[in-house]
Amino acid sequence: MVIDLRYYSRSKKGNTIKLASAIAEVLNKKAETIDKDLDSEVDYLFLANAMYASTVDRKVKDFLEKNKDKIKCIINVNSSATGRSTIKAIRKVASKYNIEVSEKEFHTIGSWLNLHKGRPNEDDLNMLKDFVTNTINDLNE
C-alpha cells in the first residue's frame, strides 16, 4: 500500500502547514506542497488543505486534475475558522476525475486574524496524529 501526503497553504506559517507537518511526522515522510506532482500512483493521499472563499483553492483543484491518474483515494485533512469542512468541495472536484474520497476525514478549527487565535493547537495536532495512526491501522486490516 502506497501512502503519500501533499498540502496547500497560502501562507508560510499557516494552519495547514502545521497539519501537514503533523501528518508527515506520523508517516515519516517530508510534507510536500501540491507544487510537487506525485512521482507514482498512490493508494491513499492525505491531502491537507483549507477553506478559501467557501471552497478549496484553484491550485488544489488543478493539482487533482493534473494527478488524477495517480490518486486512488483522498483522505481529507483541513481546518477553517468558520468550522466548515472542505470535504464537499474536495468530493466535487474528485468526482470529476473518478477519485475516491474516504469517509474518514480530519477537520479542526483554524485561526484567522483574531478568531480562534492559536488554533490548531497542540491538542488538535495530537488528535490529528492519532487520526493518521488509526487510519493507517484500519487500512492495514
Inside any domain, residue 48: yes
CATH number at residue 37: 3.40.50.360
Inside any domain, residue 140: no
Inside any domain, residue 136: no
CA distance 101 to 61: 14
Inside any domain, residue 133: no
pLDDT in tens, the chain (141 residues): 999 999 998 876 688 999 999 999 999 999 999 999 999 999 999 999 987 777 788 999 999 999 999 999 999 999 887 778 899 999 999 999 999 999 999 999 777 777 778 888 999 999 999 999 999 999 887
How many other C-beta atoms are found inside a 10 Å radius of the C-beta of residue 28? 6
Helices 15-27 & 122-140 angle (0-180, nearest 10)? 40
Q: Are 48 and 8 in contact (CB under 8 A)?
A: yes
* Domain that includes residue 95, residue range: 3-124
Inside any domain, residue 24: yes
CA distance 3 to 16: 19
3-state helix, strand, coil in the chain (%, to 5): 35, 30, 35
Give me the number of domains the chain comprises.
Answer: 1
Inside any domain, residue 138: no
Inside any domain, residue 93: yes
Inside any domain, residue 141: no
